[in-house]
Amino acid sequence: MITRVKICGITRAEDAEAAADLGAAAVGFIFVKNSPRSIDPDKARHIIHALPPFVTPVGVLADTSRAEALAAIAKSGVRCLQLHGKEDSREFADLPIPVYRVYRVSPEFDPATLKENGGSTFMLDTFVDGIAGGTGTTFDWKIAIEAKQFGRLILSGGINPENVAEAIRRVAPYAIDVSSGVERSPGVKDYQKMQSLFEAIRRVEVTHS
């Protein structure tokens, strides 16, 4: 068992470097202006340029247009795009980089929605009214398990060093996305928390190998 990890909400070069050194497969940059973890694409470009090989920089956009997405890609140099709004991912299918969509899960969420909207990879995050992401709140992982039949699942929402092992054991997602669970404050990562997260992941991977 190998669990891919994305550390999202990166605003500082030292946090991106630490995440990469600890084993992150991807780091996320939020290009949503009202987010407490927002970063300008031009500033993100300098951090991305210093990333080591094989670490994928992901740009996060919400309720964006195709033109805005293309501009963010060009300015920042991200190599993957995460759509966190109401966009239809099929409208962005021919962008020059991979794209996946985020679905916010409430108790009424129907996993069949994933099949209707297309896309072989998707993220599930917790629905909290008025907050687009980084809620620090989990949702019912039974929904995530059911959703796996529709493609590669990236599990998000309230994952931290204390519950990541359980998330992997129960859900076995394609990847996990962690933001607030490894922070000192919004956009500022805590190295010890990140280290603890990866240590917990490695322990559960060894147990299930």
> What are 176-203's pLDDT values in tens digits?
999 999 999 999 999 999 999 999 999 9
What pLDDT shows up at residue 66?
92
Per the annotation, the verdict on 8 as an active-site residue is yes
What pLDDT shows up at residue 72?
97
What pLDDT shows up at residue 118?
65
What pLDDT shows up at residue 100?
93
Report DSSP letters for the chain, one per residue.
---EEEE-----HHHHHHHHHHT-SEEEEE--TTSTTB--HHHHHHHHHTPPTT-EEEEEESS--HHHHHHHHHHH--SEEEE-SS--GGGGTTSSS-EEEEEEE-TT--THHHHHH--SEEEEEE-BTTB-S-------HHHHHHHGGGSEEEE-SS--TTTHHHHHHHH--SEEEESGGGEEETTEE-HHHHHHHHHHHHHHHHHT-
pTM of the model as a whole: 0.94
Distances (CA, A) of 183 to 77, 100, 156, 192: 25, 24, 15, 10
Distance of alpha carbon 56 from alpha carbon 128, whole angstroms:
28
Per the annotation, the verdict on 80 as an active-site residue is no
Q: What residue type is 188 in one-letter code?
A: V
What pLDDT shows up at residue 58?
98
Is the distance from CB of 5 to CB of 25 less than 8 angstroms?
yes
Collect the ranges in the chain with pLDDT lower than 70.
1, 89, 118, 129-135, 209
> What are 50-69's pLDDT values in tens digits?
999 999 999 999 999 999 99
What pLDDT shows up at residue 76?
98
Q: Is 97 exposed, middle or buried (0-12, 13-18, 19+ CB in 10 A)?
A: middle
Q: Active site residue: 8, 15, 80, 177, which one?
A: 8
Distance of alpha carbon 65 from alpha carbon 83, whole angstroms:
10
Which phi and psi angles does 138 have, rounded to 5°? -85, 165
Q: Active site residue: 110, 125, 140, 190, which one?
A: 125
